[in-house]
Each structure stands twice: as structure tokens, then as C-alpha cells.
Amino acid sequence: LTQMVVTLPGLNSKTLQKDIETDILHLAGIKFIETSLISKTLILNYDSRKLSLEAIDHIFHKWGCSPGESSFQALNSMQ
């Protein structure tokens, strides 16, 4: 598993938050998702063998929410 933490400067409403979470949850390989309107961040745990970053980026852009800084961490060692 991989954990991605990404800032979403355009995350500014509960509706947008719900729309992005719903679309991402429909992707293959998603294990966990959490977004925060306060910090404007998204945390995503996913199987990188089943999901590409392009698919995630496509959802961000679909909702007009360009991602900012992102970081990745392998979670295999944490199991």
C-alpha cells in the first residue's frame, strides 16, 4: 500500500469535499480516504498496482481542484 498526502488549495466547500471523496472511492485499489476542509488536504491509502496517479489527478481536475504539494509513503512496513 501507498499513502499519498496532497494539499488541495481549492478545497473550499463540503459539497466539493463529498464529490471528490465519492469519485475517488469508486476507483479500484482505494483502501482509505480522508479530506480536511480546515487544512485543505487529502490523505489516501491505495494499492499502487491497481491505481494510477493519473486517475486520481483526473478526478481533481474534473472538479476544478488542482493539487498542490504531495508526498508519498510506502505503508508495507507499517502492517
Neighbours of 4 (CB within 10 A): 19
SS3 of 19-79: the string is HHHHHHHCCCCEEEEEEECCCCEEEEEECCCCCCHHHHHHHHHHCCCCCCCEEEEECHHHC
Q: Using DSSP bridges, classify how beta strands 30-36 and 2-7 pair: parallel, antiparallel or unpaired.
A: unpaired
Full-model pTM: 0.89
Query: With bands split at pLDDT 50, 70 and 90, how would you rate the model's confidence at 77?
Result: low
Whose cell is 493519473? That residue is: 54
Q: What is the pLDDT of residues 28-69, one digit of tens each?
A: 999 999 999 999 999 999 999 999 999 999 999 999 999 999
